[in-house]
């Protein structure tokens, strides 16, 4: 993806806009009829359940890109999980584009459309949270998981980070002495003391200083994967458990359709893990590389809303533009 940039003067002529609003970041991309990227902008996450000022985040992100847009598509984390929040999101999108066709869906639905370019398949998302979203390509969809950090998000970056820090607590207070080497590695990486009570005092102090503790804990998953790649048994076990949880999402989503062998694809930071991808391949079969990134699914939706004639060649040009 090119570096986020908004030109001083946007190109004249028709354009579409897509917004991929996740829990950690929100990306807006403006595209012309030839599938070229005219402008893009990125900011912090806009999940209404995490960000009280989500409306201001979306307004500040979209407003510089909105002139001349023929259609817009929004995929926002948390949409569809609560009726009142959904109504507020719909009202705000309508306010942003009062005279322009605009669609609103969950960010994982948008990612699924992108991964399969509107075709059938199961999109497995694992970033700050986790969820599987399946589509038969003709309008029927199914959701599995994604019930937030308290009730779900198994196998996500947050889940990995929370489990790892929980293990540090257990090692340091004596419940899991066998996890001491694992805990000391984490303490060293975080610049914490590695003996109790100083270690737990540092951990709790770090947590209490976080403005957004959920993304901060999710960020720890990268450290755990690095430890797993270096051969740490506890870290490898944790990444493997995460993959097993994610495999259940894919397998369950497949059972919701008559074709139980729907292809699957993926999106999200957790899939940077080689061990996790390898374990998932063993459990679910080889994934299909995403044809478009998540925001590309929104651009496909917006192009259809605008009545643009999109085909395989247009999608290929869009994929190249988004990945250049």
Q: Round the average pLDDT of the chain to a whole number and report it.
A: 92
Residue 4 confidence (pLDDT) above 70: no
What's the average model confidence in pLDDT over 306-317? 92
Residue with tokens 């996890």: 179
Q: How confident is the model at residue 2 (pLDDT cuts 50, 70, 90)?
A: very low
Helix ranges (DSSP H) in the chain: 54-62, 83-96, 107-115, 148-151, 157-172, 180-189, 198-208, 213-229, 233-255, 274-284, 294-306, 312-323
Question: What's the burial of 34, exposed, middle or buried (CB within 10 Å: 0-12/13-18/19+)?
Answer: exposed
pLDDT single digits (tens) 46-68:
989 888 999 999 999 999 999 99
Contacts of 90 (CB under 8 A, 6+ apart): 104
Q: How confident is the model at residue 24 (pLDDT cuts 50, 70, 90)?
A: confident
Is 225 within 8 Å of 235 (Cβ atoms)? yes
pLDDT at 254 (0 to 100): 94
The percent of residues above 90 in pLDDT, for the chain, comes to: 75
Give the pairing type, strands 141-145 and 130-135. Answer: antiparallel
- Which pairs count as long-range contacts for 146-149, CB under 8 Å and 24+ apart, including other chains? 146/81, 146/108, 147/81, 148/49, 148/81, 149/214
Is 17 within 8 Å of 30 (Cβ atoms)? yes
Identical fold, 15-117+291-323 and 120-289:
yes
pLDDT at 6 (0 to 100): 59
Q: How confident is the model at residue 146 (pLDDT cuts 50, 70, 90)?
A: confident
What's the average model confidence in pLDDT over 213-227? 94
Most confident of 73-87, 235-249, 257-271: 235-249
CA-CA distances (angstroms) from residue 207 to 7, 50, 163, 197?
39, 16, 14, 16
Q: How confident is the model at residue 212 (pLDDT cuts 50, 70, 90)?
A: confident
What's the average model confidence in pLDDT over 56-84? 92
Give the pairing type, strands 130-135 and 121-126. Answer: antiparallel
Domain 120-289 homologous superfamily, CATH: ATPase, nucleotide binding domain (3.30.420.40)
pLDDT single digits (tens) 118-127:
889 999 999 8
| Domain layout of the chain by residue ranges | 15-117+291-323, 120-289
pLDDT at 7 (0 to 100): 60
Domain 15-117+291-323 homologous superfamily, CATH: ATPase, nucleotide binding domain (3.30.420.40)
What's the average model confidence in pLDDT over 81-104? 94
């Amino acid at each position: 993806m090119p570096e986020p940039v908004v030109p001083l003067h946007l190109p004249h002529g028709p354009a579409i806009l897509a917004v991929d609003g996740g829990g950690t970041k929100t990306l807006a991309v403006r595209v012309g009829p030839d599938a070229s990227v005219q402008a893009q902008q990125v900011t912090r996450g806009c999940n209404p359940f995490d960000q009280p000022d989500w409306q201001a985040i979306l307004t500040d992100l979209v407003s510089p890109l909105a002139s001349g847009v023929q259609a817009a598509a929004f995929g926002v984390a948390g949409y569809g999980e609560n009726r009142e929040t959904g109504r507020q999101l719909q009202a705000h999108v309508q306010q942003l584009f009062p005279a322009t066709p605009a669609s609103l869906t969950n960010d994982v639905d948008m990612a699924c459309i992108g991964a399969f370019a509107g075709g059938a398949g199961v999109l497995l998302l694992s970033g700050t949270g986790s969820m599987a979203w399946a589509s038969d390509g003709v309008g029927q969809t199914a959701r599995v998981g994604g019930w937030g950090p308290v009730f779900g998000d198994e196998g996500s970056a947050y889940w990995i980070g929370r489990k790892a820090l929980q293990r540090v607590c257990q090692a340091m207070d004596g419940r899991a002495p066998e996890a001491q080497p694992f805990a000391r590695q984490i303490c060293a990486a975080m610049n914490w003391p590695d003996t109790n009570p100083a270690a737990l005092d540092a951990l709790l102090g770090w947590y209490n200083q976080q403005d957004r503790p959920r993304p901060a804990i999710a960020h720890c998953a990268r450290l755990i994967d690095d430890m797993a790649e270096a051969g740490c048994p506890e870290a490898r076990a944790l990444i493997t458990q995460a993959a097993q949880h994610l495999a259940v999402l894919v397998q369950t989503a497949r059972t919701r359709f008559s074709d139980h062998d729907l292809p699957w694809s993926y999106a999200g930071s957790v899939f940077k893990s080689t061990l996790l991808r390898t374990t998932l391949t063993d459990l679910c079969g080889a994934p299909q590389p995403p044809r478009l990134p998540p925001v590309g699914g929104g651009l496909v939706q917006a192009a259809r809303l605008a009545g643009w004639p999109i085909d395989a060649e247009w999608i290929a040009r869009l994929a190249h533009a988004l990945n250049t």
